[in-house]
Amino acid sequence: ARLLLDVWPAQEVLAPLEDYARKGSEPSHLRDVERRLLPIVAIPRAAQRLRVLALVGTLEERVGESVAQLALLQRACGELQSSAVLRDLLAIVVVLFNYVNYGTEVAGAAGSQCCGVDAQSLLRLCETKAYKGQFPGFNMLHFVLQQLVQQRPGLRPEHLSNELGSLPQAARVSLDRSLQELQELRADHAFVQLELKEHREAYETSSCGDPNAGDDGGAEGAEEP
């Protein structure tokens, strides 16, 4: 159904044929390709039926994939919020950020004030190079990690794996693509609801107008999505 829908003629192409068939004109006066299309244009809302069929075949998989990605992102966000290692790392960044940019020492006193750090500044940590580092390419992120290891001498890679286990997989999820897929699912849902509300009769009757002919599949096909 999806392949047929991709090559389905535009409505402005089919409209003259629909008028021709509605008037009962002689099919022999048409070209061969037009005669082949006549049985199709006689089907009520043929393009919309194809879209419904395509949805029936792909909807469950699409919804399942979207739900799984959202669950993964939610799990990764929860891990970020509860990670003790990340909190300690961010605390060091805040102290360093205020000292470098404002000359302010954050001593942790109740009256001390400091400026927060935005996400873009965090991403630029590795771009701030040291004039005389311990090794070539030494940057602010290396320094922050050194401070973290000094505060937590027992820190091991497995601690990060335990606290942020979902993060590597969640980082591969495209937020733009997930948002687009959710918008498409909402549009498909609205389309099916509109078809059932305003054009149910077209799905419950055959192209010949016999209401009993559509009982085998037409109405069921419309209900499933």
HEC readout, 24-57: CCCHHHCCHHHHHHHHHHCCCCHHHHHHHHHHHH
Q: Counting Cβ atoms within 10 Å, is residue 214 exposed (0-12), middle (13-18) or buried (19+)?
A: buried
As a whole number of angstroms, the distance between CA 78 and CA 68 comes to: 15
What integer pLDDT is reported at residue 210 of this predicted model? 44
What integer pLDDT is reported at residue 104 of this predicted model? 64
What integer pLDDT is reported at residue 111 of this predicted model? 52
What integer pLDDT is reported at residue 177 of this predicted model? 95
Q: In terms of DSSP H, where are the helices of 83-163?
A: 84-102, 119-123, 140-151, 157-163
pLDDT at 1 over 70: no
- Cross-strand partners of 139: 129
Going by C-beta distance under 8 Å and a sequence separation of 6 or more, which residues neighbour residue 113?
Answer: 104
What integer pLDDT is reported at residue 219 of this predicted model? 38
For tokens 């997930």, name the residue. Answer: 178
**Which has more confidence, 221 or 129?**
129
What integer pLDDT is reported at residue 188 of this predicted model? 94
What integer pLDDT is reported at residue 18 of this predicted model? 77
Residue 129: pLDDT band with limits 50, 70, 90:
confident
For tokens 């008037």, name the residue. Answer: 23
When pLDDT is averaged across residues 6-13 and rounded to a whole number, the result is 74
Residue 105: pLDDT band with limits 50, 70, 90:
low
Backbone angles phi, psi at 129, to 5 degrees: -90, 150
pTM over 0.95: no
When pLDDT is averaged across residues 6-26 and rounded to a whole number, the result is 76
Model pLDDT for residues 169-210, shown as the tens digit of each residue: 999 999 999 999 999 999 999 999 999 999 888 887 754 444
Percent of the chain with pLDDT over 70: 85
Model pLDDT for residues 38-90, shown as the tens digit of each residue: 777 777 888 888 889 889 889 999 999 999 999 999 999 999 999 999 999 99
As a whole number of angstroms, the distance between CA 190 and CA 186 comes to: 6
